[in-house]
């Protein structure tokens, strides 16, 4: 099990360097600035978040990251651990909360994700039918700009239009939370409903 978790982390870390950073990836470990680790934790981790039954993907990723950096420092005579531990301490509670909310919203569309007899095509069909019920849809990157008992207000960071929704609990949403996904509105409706979620990020991402 330990080897499996380590291998999963190393695979994700490899994708971070090759697919996410691409040409901006440092040429050597000694050239890695603090921003390399900051982006990994605050942006890449929530971007590649996996919905797991125990909702502990964040916890396991950061645990393996800490172990990896400790090994890296010993092997390459680098001093990354202090800054990485600082970022981990700062990010952990927020990212764990966001993972829990992301899992909850994702499973609304794919409730059978962890079932052995999951009917994937049926879930996709239900989502397609749901999308057809909307008169308008908008996909984008949204920032939570207002939270109250009535719902939350989202600002589209590209168009700068605002959207009001009750699809996300006001008790779990936070100001400056970044949400990527699709929202839809039925004809003559005022509220926008979450159609599907792609990610939840801290503002720092």
Task: Please give the C-alpha separations between residue 88 and each of 56, 62, 97, 121, in angstroms, as whole numbers.
Answer: 15, 7, 14, 38
Q: What is the pLDDT of residue 166?
A: 95
Q: How confident is the prediction along the chain (205 residues), in pLDDT tens digits per residue?
A: 568 889 999 999 999 988 888 788 888 898 899 999 999 999 999 999 999 999 999 999 999 999 999 999 999 999 999 999 999 999 999 999 999 999 999 999 998 888 888 888 999 999 899 999 999 999 999 999 999 999 999 999 999 999 999 999 999 999 999 999 999 999 999 999 999 999 999 998 8
The CA–CA distances, whole Å, from 179 to 49, 120, 144, 171 equal 13, 24, 8, 16
> Cα(205)–Cα(202) distance, rounded to whole angstroms?
6
Cα–Cα dist 108/147, whole Å: 22
Return the structure tokens found at 165. Answer: 């929704």
| Tokens matching residue 187 | 């004809």
Under 8 Å between Cβ of 38 and 87: yes
Q: Is 167 helix (H, G, I), strand (E, B) or coil?
A: coil
Q: Which of 88, 86, 80 is nearest to 30 (CA)?
A: 80
Sheet holding 178-185, edge to edge: 162-165, 151-156, 136-148, 178-185, 193-201
**Would you say 159 and 152 are in contact if contact means Cβ atoms under 8 Å apart?**
no
* pTM score of the predicted model: 0.91
Q: Count CB neighbours of 197 within 10 A.
A: 22
């Amino acid at each position: 099990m330990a080897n499996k978790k380590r291998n999963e982390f190393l695979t994700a870390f490899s994708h971070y360097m090759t697919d996410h950073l691409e040409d901006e990836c440092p040429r050597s470990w000694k050239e890695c600035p603090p921003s390399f680790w900051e982006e990994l934790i605050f942006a890449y981790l929530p971007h590649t978040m996996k919905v797991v039954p125990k909702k502990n993907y964040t916890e396991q990723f950061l645990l393996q990251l800490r172990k990896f950096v400790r090994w890296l420092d010993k092997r390459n005579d680098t001093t990354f651990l202090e800054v990485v531990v600082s970022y981990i301490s700062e990010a952990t509670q927020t990212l764990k909360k966001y993972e829990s909310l992301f899992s909850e919203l994702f499973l609304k569309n794919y409730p059978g994700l962890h079932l052995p007899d999951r009917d994937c095509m049926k879930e996709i069909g239900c989502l397609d039918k749901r999308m057809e019920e909307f008169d308008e849809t908008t996909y984008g990157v949204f920032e939570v700009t207002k939270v109250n008992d009535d719902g939350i207000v989202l600002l589209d960071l590209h168009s700068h239009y605002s959207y009001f929704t009750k699809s996300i609990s006001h008790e779990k949403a936070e100001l400056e939370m970044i949400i990527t996904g699709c929202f839809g509105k039925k004809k003559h409706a005022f509220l926008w409903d979450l159609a599907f979620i792609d990610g939840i990020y801290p503002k720092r991402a």
